[in-house]
């Protein structure tokens, strides 16, 4: 029977452990103080340059992301698993979700104009895509009160 060769431990090295290791010294360079000031301004601007004047905005964003978005996903998944169709209520809620996000981003005064538009464009594009979905969903939508999942 063949036995594998014994393993060497990680602490064993080909060099002798009795020799002192050389410490590595970092090279000292001079960075102008104006660079630190610019960096500090950028970090402050990114983190919180304009504080919230209204606490309703962060609460609304938390509500949308933790409650409304999963609810929309559940409604769409229920309808899709039942008969493979897209949920009209889920799509309508998704339009409301994007519209409220657009309003929140537009109202939030912490963003500069370019950053505001960079955050608004995906939401606007989402509404356009949902409008295209509605064109296909509305003609095929039917609700049978005997089967409640068809009304979702």
Question: Which bin fits 125, alpha (ψ -120 to 50), beta or left (φ > 0)?
Answer: alpha
Q: What is the mean pLDDT of residues 123-135?
A: 90
Instruction: Give the confidence band of 47 by pLDDT, cuts at 50, 70, 90.
Output: very low
Contact residues for 109 (Cβ-Cβ < 8 A; gap 6+): 50, 53
pLDDT(1) > 60: no
What are phi and psi for residue 74, nearest 5 degrees? -65, -45
**pTM for the model:** 0.58
pLDDT at 125: 93
Q: What is the mean pLDDT of residues 13-30?
A: 56
Instruction: Give the confidence band of 87 by pLDDT, cuts at 50, 70, 90.
Output: confident
User: Both tokens of residue 54?
Assistant: 């209204």
**Residue-range domain boundaries for the chain:** 58-151
């Amino acid at each position: 029977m063949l036995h594998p060769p014994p393993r060497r431990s990680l602490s064993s090295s080909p060099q002798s452990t009795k020799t002192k290791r050389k410490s590595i010294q970092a090279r000292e360079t001079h960075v102008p103080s104006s660079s630190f000031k610019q960096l500090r301004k950028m970090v402050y601007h990114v983190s919180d340059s304009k504080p919230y004047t209204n606490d309703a905005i962060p609460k609304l964003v938390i509500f949308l992301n933790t409650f409304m978005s999963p609810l929309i996903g559940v409604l769409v998944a229920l309808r899709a698993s039942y008969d493979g169709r897209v949920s009209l209520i889920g799509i309508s809620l998704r339009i409301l979700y994007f519209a409220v996000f657009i309003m929140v981003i537009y109202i939030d005064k912490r963003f500069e104009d370019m950053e505001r538009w960079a955050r608004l464009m995906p939401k606007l594009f989402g509404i356009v895509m949902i409008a295209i979905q509605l064109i296909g969903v509305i003609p095929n939508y039917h609700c049978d009160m005997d089967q409640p999942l068809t009304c979702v």
